[in-house]
Amino acid sequence: MAMLSQVGAISVKELKILLRDRQALALLFLMPTFFILVMSFALEGVFEAGTRSRPLEILVVNQDRGDLAQKTVKAAKRIGGITLVETGPSGPLTLEQAEASIRKGTQRFALVFRGDYTERLQGATADTRSATEPRDTAALNTVQAGRAGEDQPPAEHAAISLIVDPAINQQVQTVVSGIVSGIVERMRLATQLPARIQDALEPIADEIPPADLAGTGVDELGEPAAEIEKLIADEAQQITLEITPPRGFGRERRPTATEQNVPAYAIFGVFFIVLTIAKSFLRERLDGTFVRLLTAPLPKPLLIIGKLLPYYLVNLLQIALMFAVGVAVFGMTLGSLPAFAVLSLATAATANGLGLLVAAFGRSEAQVDTLAVLLAITLAALGGIMVPTFVMPESLQMLSRLTPHAWALAGYQDVIVRGLTLRDVLPETGVLLGFAAVFLLVGLWRLRLN
């Protein structure tokens, strides 16, 4: 009985200690709850992207001189999982408007019907590749390599093209291209096969009475049947859906999974410096070292900068190491080095600023630990590190714009995945520096009150 009493006394003591830091206790409950809400809403888009409840939006540029492109679009609108947008603010979308939307990141896909789409669908200028013949890879590479900054539209030799943001998930791209290819295939067969079958059967029409023709098997038709089968096989490869990035993206090939994933994981790792910085400030506050530092003949901002500088250098080394692994092990490319360097400097500054902010508001080790982990994981989830933002609900997409992670990821994707230059990433760099400035100013203000 005495032992139970002692155990109870110890438990009561620990409970009092725990209740003394109510903010930390609240964060222990809020962190998993908030994380569950954010991840559940975000991942909902991953599993529902391309369904009737969450269709993927595709811009449509109709340059067709005939009417089959419009019929194809009409057929596509009856299929769930995609939403086709044919008009812009000033009327039917042009190729330039569609590519500009993809370059800005407001859209991910654009379907372009070329001027000869109807003619090609009707077989007037058919590409007679057989179903077993491989695609002309050299021609496709030439198309994709020639689109970077030149004036010619991508995939000019194709009757229909799907312009895709290179940063898009490969699985999502496959879903969209599969849907479009299936629609075009059905439209082509519905357009060509009736007339072609009639032409193939015409030589034997007089030899087989109509009453017998209905019961005649395909294998009994001889040479016409073989011609029909050959026709179907050839037609299956006639209209090729070319997939290409928009003009202005300096990539001659589709980026690898490493080039798409390494930037996200690097950003995620960089922001874990927040916990290290916050704990360092907390320890110095608790043991009185920070108060003694404030007596030094230095302005407070310079004192803080001096304390943050080592962590800033650690962040830069982190970035260098993580991307070096990607280059050395997986052969990824970094794109424009000046743009990469500027983005890295801004990202590290933002992470350090957030660390100071957490240090200024955290009053105990439990608070600092919980708040730092909460911010690191939640901001990463909202910012597209764990889930692509374009598949999130619209409300979460708007929230993602309020996270530094989203802007850092967009900047790295511009440089590494899309092949853009320093001038193109200045907006993302400016926003990151703005985040850093706000975090630092609020942190300094808060520390002044403490």
Identify the domain boundary among 244, 278, 294.
244
How confident is the model at residue 316, as a pLDDT? 94
pLDDT digits (tens, 9 = 90+) for 428-439: 999 999 999 999
Residue 310 domain flag? yes
Identify the domain boundary among 244, 275, 293.
244
pLDDT digits (tens, 9 = 90+) for 354-385: 999 998 888 778 788 888 888 888 888 888 88
Counting residues of the chain whose pLDDT is more than 90, the rounded percentage is 20
Domain co-membership, 146 together with 187 = yes
Q: Which residues pair with 59 in a beta bridge?
A: 85, 110
Residue 218 domain flag? yes
pTM of the model: 0.69
Structural domain count, the chain:
2
How confident is the model at residue 150, as a pLDDT? 39
How confident is the model at residue 191, as a pLDDT? 80
425: pLDDT confidence band, cut at 50, 70 and 90? very high
450/275 Cα distance (integer angstroms): 20
pLDDT digits (tens, 9 = 90+) for 325-350: 989 988 888 889 999 999 999 999 99
* Residue 44 host element (H or E): helix 22-48
How confident is the model at residue 317, as a pLDDT? 93
Domain co-membership, 214 together with 277 = no
Reply yes or no on whether the pLDDT at 420 is more than 80: yes
Domain co-membership, 370 together with 416 = yes
Residue 260 domain flag? yes
387: pLDDT confidence band, cut at 50, 70 and 90? confident
- Cα 200 to chain centroid distance, Å, stands at 49
Coil vs helix vs strand at 245 = coil
226/200 Cα distance (integer angstroms): 9
Domain co-membership, 202 together with 276 = no
Q: Which of 58-62, 196-200, 227-231 shows the lowest mean pLDDT across its residues? A: 227-231
Residue 176 domain flag? yes
| CA-based R_g, the chain, Å | 30
**Angle at Cα 156 formed by Cα 152 and Cα 160, nearest 5°?**
130
Q: Shortest CA distance to 274 belongs to which of 448, 387, 399, 435?
A: 435
How confident is the model at residue 154, as a pLDDT? 44
How confident is the model at residue 432, as a pLDDT? 97
Query: Average pLDDT for residues 185-204, to the nearest whole number?
Result: 72
How confident is the model at residue 116, as a pLDDT? 86
Domain co-membership, 205 together with 264 = no
Counting residues of the chain whose pLDDT is more than 70, the rounded percentage is 69
pLDDT digits (tens, 9 = 90+) for 206-227: 555 555 545 555 455 555 555 5
pLDDT digits (tens, 9 = 90+) for 233-242: 654 446 778 8
Domain co-membership, 82 together with 223 = yes
What does the longest C-alpha to C-alpha distance in the chain come to? 110
Residue 5 domain flag? no
Identify the domain boundary among 214, 244, 274.
244
Domain co-membership, 216 together with 110 = yes
8 A C-beta contact, residue 46 and residue 392: no
Domain co-membership, 410 together with 426 = yes
Residue 77 domain flag? yes
How confident is the model at residue 8, as a pLDDT? 74
Domain co-membership, 218 together with 286 = no
Its domain, for residue 413, covers 24-47+255-449
Domain co-membership, 269 together with 367 = yes
- Cα 356 to chain centroid distance, Å, stands at 30
Q: Which of 26-40, 93-107, 350-364, 365-379 shows the lowest mean pLDDT across its residues? A: 26-40
Residue 434 domain flag? yes
Residue 8 domain flag? no
Mean residue pLDDT across the chain: 77
How confident is the model at residue 59, as a pLDDT? 93
How confident is the model at residue 125, as a pLDDT? 43
273/347 Cα distance (integer angstroms): 12
Angle in degrees, 0-180, between the axes of helices 170-201 and 223-235, rounded to the nearest 10: 150
How confident is the model at residue 361, as a pLDDT? 87
Q: Best-predicted range by mean pLDDT among 118-122, 152-156, 399-403? A: 399-403
Query: Average pLDDT for residues 432-447, to the nearest whole number?
Result: 92
Domain co-membership, 317 together with 209 = no
Domain co-membership, 206 together with 285 = no
